[in-house]
Amino acid sequence: NAGVMQNPRHLVRRRGQEARLRCSPVKGHSHVYWYRQLPEEGLKFMVYLQKENIIDESGMPKERFSAEFPKEGPSILRIQQVVRGDSAAYFCASSPPPTRRETQYFGPGTRLLVL
């Protein structure tokens, strides 16, 4: 059952370090979405990527955050110089090329804790 895979599941970083979160979409899915869930909040959209292309990054913080989805390999969400406020659960979802009717399938998330 090759669903959306995310790793690591848990990540602890000290302030100022870098965090790299990986997401492997469902086989055959070409679109990836990243969402962030802060404590007591719903999921907030961050970025939407296609292979080698960022479609929509309107939800990404302007600094320190970047995302990529290379031709080969998983999608990476990178957070530089982490701060305590970055502590959250980060979820990745994938879908086939969307026609507005496609469902997004979610991974188990990466829980980032910044000390």
Partner 1 sequence: AQSVSQHNHHVILSEAASLELGCNYSYGGTVNLFWYVQYPGQHLQLLLKYFSGDPLVKGIKGFEAEFIKSKFSFNLRKPSVQWSDTAEYFCAVNGGSQGNLIFGKGTKLSVKP
> Taking CB under 8 A as the rule, does residue 33 contact partner 1?
yes
Span from 18-26, 40-48, 61-69, 79-87 in contact with partner 1 (CB under 8 A): 40-48
Going by C-alpha positions, the residue among 66, 91, 96, 61 that lies closest to residue 78 is: 66
User: Could you give phi then psi for residue 102, rounded to 5 degrees?
Assistant: -85, 140
Span from 22-30, 67-75, 79-87, 91-99 in contact with partner 1 (CB under 8 A): 91-99
Given candidates 7, 17, 45, 64, which one binds partner 1 under the rule CB under 8 A? 45
Q: What is the nearest approach in angstroms of partner 1 to the Cβ of residue 66?
A: 17
Peptide bond into 61 cis (omega under 30): no
> Taking CB under 8 A as the rule, does residue 39 contact partner 1?
no
Full strand arrangement of the beta sheet holding 5-7: 5-7, 19-24, 75-79, 65-68
